[in-house]
Amino acid sequence: MTPTRAGLLALLVTLVFDQASKLGLYFGTDLVLTQPWRLAPFADFVVVWNRGVSYGLFQQESGFGRWFLVALSLAAALGLGIWMTRAGSRLLAVALGLIVGGALGNAIDRAAYGAVLDFVHLHAGGWSWYVFNVADAAIVAGVIGLILDSLSPAGRATSGDAARSGPAPGDPAPRP
């Protein structure tokens, strides 16, 4: 599978799973009325409408703020999507696909409802993590993938790339 196809697959799986989980929990259950749902001693399902960006920062109550964040998400998704189509490694393409799929999933929520539906709450003892959703988890996994790709020499210039580009400036001319 080419890197671009792997990235597109990651994007589509992320987007479908994100939207299906949100729509299923919000419209297909009584979670809103019976929350929290205890999944484990450290995890609950709850309903939180996030009108801001990551971790609830920069809360937007106005129509302008809502549509500005939608436009920003779409612009980021477009730019990262173009990068994904040019990725030289599957890891990079999948990481970008996860980020783009997550950004589009949250942009759909914001456009349709004015806020992003977050529902996973992790906690332990007195410690509580932010409430997040599948799109947020995919974005974090994608960023981790970007970091891993940047640390890996594999997937960079291959010998075929070097041969096509010719000698670097200052290199001695090849002998016949």
| HEC-encoded secondary structure of the chain | CCHHHHHHHHHHHHHHHHHHHHHHHHHHCCHHHHCCEEEECCEEEEEEEECCCHHHCCCCCCHHHHHHHHHHHHHHHHHHHHHHHCCCCHHHHHHHHHHHHHHHHHHHHHHHHCCEEEEEEEEECCEEEEEECHHHHHHHHHHHHHHHHHHCCCCCCCHHHHHHHCCCCCCCCCCC
Residues with catalytic annotation?
Answer: 118, 136
